[in-house]
A and B are shown apart, each in its own frame.
Chain A
Amino acid sequence: IAGITQAPTSQILAAGRRMTLRCTQDMRHNAMYWYRQDLGLGLRLIHYSNTAGTTGKGEVPDGYSVSRANTDDFPLTLASAVPSQTSVYFCASSDGHSGANVLTFGAGSRLTVL
């Protein structure tokens, strides 16, 4: 089934540890995104990539890094996790060409930093 796969589904992490959230899509979409979703707030963009080999900062990039070595994969790394990074993380993609540029989301990764 075409779509986006995220891993892990959930993770409890000690503060100060390094963590990488994985995201893979099989739709050959050009653009990919990482969002975090917190209670009472709208989705907030962390980083994005318009095409393989390029990345950009979103609204809340501090403490996070991404890479886009190929079209399919877009991992998000927390270099040294802090409790404020406890959140649900969604990876998304879009083809970047249609007028609507609709996002397809992964199932999410629930991260708890203690």
Chain B
Amino acid sequence: GQNIDQPTEMTATEGAIVQINCTYQTSGFNGLFWYQQHAGEAPTFLSYNVLDGLEEKGRFSSFLSRSKGYSYLLLKELQMKDSASYLCAVRDSNYQLIWGAGTKLIIKP
């Protein structure tokens, strides 16, 4: 079966750095996505990786290793507004998105 694994919950301190990991086992691979979802709101797009390596976008970076079935989202200079759930999703060989259950990130002052 297809599976996306990410930690259920993480806690970090304001101003610090946090890394949220995502491992996947899917039927084929056509890209990996990270979305942010604040409580009670819709998911919003953060990043897209299709090739191995690091994609940097401001305070957020996303890394992909296709051979290891692994990605991480790196958040720097954490702010209270970064408290949210972070969803990892992989597009499989049929171009269907497989979603992880999300990682709830709690930021403490």
Contact = CB atoms under 8 A, between A and B. Distances in A.
Contacts of B4: 42
A27 to B, nearest CB: 14
- Of the listed residues A43, A99, A101, the one surrounded by the most CB atoms of chain B closer than 10 A to its CB is A43
B27 interface: no
29 contacts: A40-B101, A42-B4, A42-B87, A42-B89, A42-B98, A42-B99, A42-B101, A43-B43, A43-B89, A43-B99, A45-B96, A58-B96, A90-B42, A99-B31, A100-B33, A100-B48, A100-B50, A101-B91, A101-B95, A102-B45, A102-B48, A103-B43, A103-B45, A103-B97, A104-B45, A105-B42, A107-B41, A107-B42, A108-B42
Interface of B: 4, 31, 33, 35, 41-45, 48, 50, 87, 89, 91, 95-102
3 residue pairs, one from A and one from B, having the closest CB atoms = A42-B99, A105-B42, A43-B99
What range describes how many residues of A lie at the interface? Answer: 10 to 19
> Interface majority SS on B: helix, strand, loop or mixed?
strand
Contacts of B98: 42
Interface of A: 40-45, 58, 90, 99-108
Given A43-B97, A104-B45, A108-B41, 15 more contacts: A42-B4, A42-B99, A42-B100, A42-B101, A42-B102, A43-B89, A43-B99, A90-B42, A90-B43, A99-B50, A102-B33, A103-B97, A105-B42, A106-B42, A107-B42
Nearest to A102: B45
Contacts, number: 45
Nearest to B49: A100
Contacts of B91: 101
B91 to A, nearest CB: 8
